[in-house]
Structure 1
Amino acid sequence: MLTILIAFVVIGLINLCYYLGFFRFALAKNESQPAYKELPVSVIICAKNEAENLRNFLPAILSQDHPDFEVVVINDASVDETLEVLEEFQQSDDRVKIVDVQNNEAFWANKKYAITLGIKKAKKPYLLFTDADCRPETSEWLKEMSAHFEDQKSIVIGYGGYFIESRSLLNKLIRFETLFTAIQYFSYASWGKPYMGVGRNLAYTSEEFFAQNGFATHLHIKSGDDDLFVNGAATKTNTALCFSPVGITRSVPKSTLKAWFTQKRRHVSAASHYKKEHRLMLGLFYTSQLLFWIFFFILLKSPFWQVALFLLAVRWIVQGVVFYNSGKKFGETDLFWLFPFLELFLVSAQLAIFISNIFSKPTNWK
């Protein structure tokens, strides 16, 4: 049992070092408003069977307070009324550009192929990506995200959250996982090691896209149009972070645990293709999370239970500072009071996702 105690303390200290490292981002002062630039922007949206979401959310994109932008929407072989809805918008607003993608046998259900066609259609050099089920928090979203482009900054990582359903525990789990993931990729980027972004709120220049040869290195991988591109292209010098409250988007969360689990399986499958240093960094963090809880529950039934509780209390204090301050930045403070339970549930879900991906491959994006 002494060996387990020593392992528990070592693992706990490793895990604490990560959370202390997250302090840099969590305690960073709120962004000052960057200098406004009237940059020409193409908003890129890939839509597959999204007729209703486009009706609900596309008006919020078109009402953005920015003088020079277009909205390129890719109808990715939809079988609902997506194309008809887009044509209605286009008739009333010529800023709407449509790319109608038919099923191609060589690129069946490949979102990256569809997005590439959308990027080629775009007339503006600055590209801002979001999803059909996303709505910007404010009319300043486009202005805020594009303002972070500078001479050397060709990639802008933003926060894409989910709509709040106050009485839903599943909603809290989904939003906690999203917040937890964001704390990591914003923190690592602030350390000079950007490794991912989310397609719900991500921007980069068309020049950067073509310099990377688009999605060519991972076109065969079903997911990863956002994080795998960032993983390959982002550097300490070319990546900017936008965590202003006015630069946030929110989207419709999954309504069932099964649907969320399937979605996360696709996301996790892409992570296995990250750069080696990123896989090691993320793998050590998750392993320390998992082993911490395993050893903790073993030690609770041992003479060392007081030591286990003490280290857990210290860890919770550090975590609480990180989650509360990060939650304030992204409008997720209601999750703070549940973070001990949500973290334990998430660690268990991630283990189940990892095991599931070993035995079967995730399906296409829709």
Structure 2
Amino acid sequence: MNITILWLLSLPTKPYRVLEYFFYTFVFLHFSLIAQTIAPLLRKSSTPRSSTLSPPFSVIVCAHNEVENLKKLMPLLLAQQYVHFEIIIVLDRCTDGSVAFMQSVNSAQVLTIEVPAVPSGFNPKKYALTQGINAARNEWLLLTDADCRPVSDQWIASFAPYTSEKTELILGISPYEDQPGLISQITAYETLQTAIHYTSAACQGRAYMGVGRNIAYRKSTFHKTGGFHPFEAVVGGDDDLLVQKITTPHNTAINFKSDSLTYSSPERKWKGYLKQKTRHLSVGKHYQPAVKTAHFIRASTHGVLWLCFLYLLFSFQYSSRIIVLFGLLILVKGVFFKKIANNLGMPFNRIWFPLMDLIYAIFLPLLGVRAMFVKNIRWKK
């Protein structure tokens, strides 16, 4: 008790000096969290558990009025250099010529499933995925989206070595293409942060999400764990909520191989970007308590750090050591994030980095709060 009282009395009395104490505290907390996150990735090897496995795969793609994307994707899927695989295209209530295009694809490897309507109580994306999974002839399922592009004809082959007897889930990485513009830079940085956090957690045996644009799991595991129940009506969650259901500390692998990447084009308009992010962030309310707590601690520490720095900076109540310390923190983060981005095959712009880190710390959490209250969120109309 006496020690606590002495400590409180020793605190500075001026408000900005108290805030400076908070600033130093949150610099330490944020740096500690960053170090804990990136350390497993710096140690992680991209060498799979086995290099001789080659089980058959069922590649599943769901599409809703995406005929132009399918025209670009199908040649890349059919060109995959792998021993045994099938391609399942699930057309969700398509009215744009997707059905006619898929009928023109002449390949015994391709199975097209048409979904004319979605039953009540089911999200369209999850219902379409379920139809594709049920129709799959192979145990291993590999999923991507119609607007994605495998970076290599070894995409399927890159997942095969990770399919050991104990493995039930393989997490892939799916960057967005590096394009000019603020929205593209925000998307690229947020995607890099997301990839860093979910792959780091998986390396530590605590996987909590993947990306539906590049993920593989066993058909038997999907059915054994009840598929998308009880969140079949939730918009989104076909990747992160499913991962939280089926992952264990020992059944999940991460595919870091450069041939495994799938790229997507970022949204180019603010309306589309906000709609996409709201849909993604709205799923967070359904996360497991431990995952939500970890997200809250990381986001609040990051956000408070930036707010303290900006307040001290623009109120001119600061010392040079504050700017030096914060600048050093940003520099160190930038160096390590650049290294990890290179290892993951993801874009990273050093010039944009400080601004992107500020936006990620303050703007995206505000979008997350907004997503908690927005109703009528849809996958696609």
Deviates more, 1:6-15 or 1:217-226: 6-15
Equivalent residue for 1:172? 185
Confirm whether residue 131 of structure 1 aligns to residue 145 of structure 2: yes
- 1:135-179 CA distances to partner (integer Å, 9 max, x unpaired)? 1111111011132111111100010112232x3332222111111
Equivalent residue for 2:86? 70
Percent sequence identity is 29
Equivalent residue for 2:250? 237
Pairing partner for 1:316 from 330, 333, 357: 330
Counterpart residue type for residue 173 of structure 1: I
Equivalent residue for 1:60? 76
- 1:167-223 CA distances to partner (integer Å, 9 max, x unpaired)? 333222211111111011011111221110000000000111011100012112111
Aligned pair in 2 of structure 1 residues 108, 221: CA closer, same or farther (>3 Å)?
closer
Deviates more, 1:52-61 or 1:1-10: 1-10
- 1:228-263 CA distances to partner (integer Å, 9 max, x unpaired)? 100221121010001111111101221212211111
- 1:289-319 CA distances to partner (integer Å, 9 max, x unpaired)? 1111111111223543323213312321331
Equivalent residue for 1:296? 309
Counterpart residue type for residue 175 of structure 1: A
SS at match of 2:349: helix
Deviates more, 1:2-11 or 1:69-78: 2-11
Equivalent residue for 1:305? 319
- Checking the alignment, whether the CA contact within 8 Å between 2:41 and 2:203 is kept in structure 1 is no
Cα distance in 2, alignment partners of residues 107 and 217 from structure 1: 11
Cα distance in 2, alignment partners of residues 28 and 250 from structure 1: 25
- Highest CA radius of gyration, 1 or 2? 2
- Checking the alignment, whether the CA contact within 8 Å between 2:67 and 2:98 is kept in structure 1 is yes
Deviation (angstroms), 1:38: 1.8
Deviation (angstroms), 1:110: 2.1
Aligned pair in 2 of structure 1 residues 85, 209: CA closer, same or farther (>3 Å)?
same
Cα distance in 2, alignment partners of residues 235 and 322 from structure 1: 28
- 1:33-73 CA distances to partner (integer Å, 9 max, x unpaired)? 64032211000101111100000111101111111000111
Counterpart residue type for residue 23 of structure 1: I
Equivalent residue for 1:17? 32
Deviates more, 1:277-286 or 1:338-347: 338-347
Counterpart residue type for residue 36 of structure 1: T
Equivalent residue for 1:361? 375
SS at match of 1:39: coil
Structural mapping, 1:1-366, within 5 Å:
1-28=16-43, 30-32=45-47, 34-89=50-105, 92-107=106-121, 110-165=124-179, 167-300=180-313, 301-361=315-375, 363-366=377-380
SS at match of 2:281: helix
Q: Which blocks of at least 5 consecutive residues in structure 2 are unaligned? A: 1-15
Deviation (angstroms), 1:362: 5.2
SS at match of 2:191: helix
TM-score normalised by structure 2 residue count? 0.91
Counterpart residue type for residue 261 of structure 1: L
Aligned pair in 2 of structure 1 residues 239, 109: CA closer, same or farther (>3 Å)?
closer
SS at match of 1:78: coil
- Checking the alignment, whether the CA contact within 8 Å between 2:40 and 2:203 is kept in structure 1 is yes
- Checking the alignment, whether the CA contact within 8 Å between 2:183 and 2:273 is kept in structure 1 is no
Deviates more, 1:305-314 or 1:231-240: 305-314
Deviation (angstroms), 1:326: 1.3
Deviation (angstroms), 1:280: 0.5
Cα distance in 1, alignment partners of residues 123 and 285 from structure 2: 21
**Cα RMSD between the aligned structures?**
1.7
- 1:310-353 CA distances to partner (integer Å, 9 max, x unpaired)? 33123213311331111102333442332111111233331331
Deviates more, 1:342-351 or 1:101-110: 101-110
Cα distance in 1, alignment partners of residues 185 and 317 from structure 2: 36
Cα distance in 2, alignment partners of residues 109 and 232 from structure 1: 18
- Checking the alignment, whether the CA contact within 8 Å between 1:262 and 1:362 is kept in structure 2 is no
- Checking the alignment, whether the CA contact within 8 Å between 2:141 and 2:218 is kept in structure 1 is yes
Q: Which blocks of at least 5 consecutive residues in structure 1 are unaligned? A: none
- Checking the alignment, whether the CA contact within 8 Å between 1:155 and 1:239 is kept in structure 2 is yes
Cα distance in 1, alignment partners of residues 63 and 121 from structure 2: 16
Cα distance in 1, alignment partners of residues 346 and 141 from structure 2: 27
Cα distance in 1, alignment partners of residues 41 and 246 from structure 2: 25
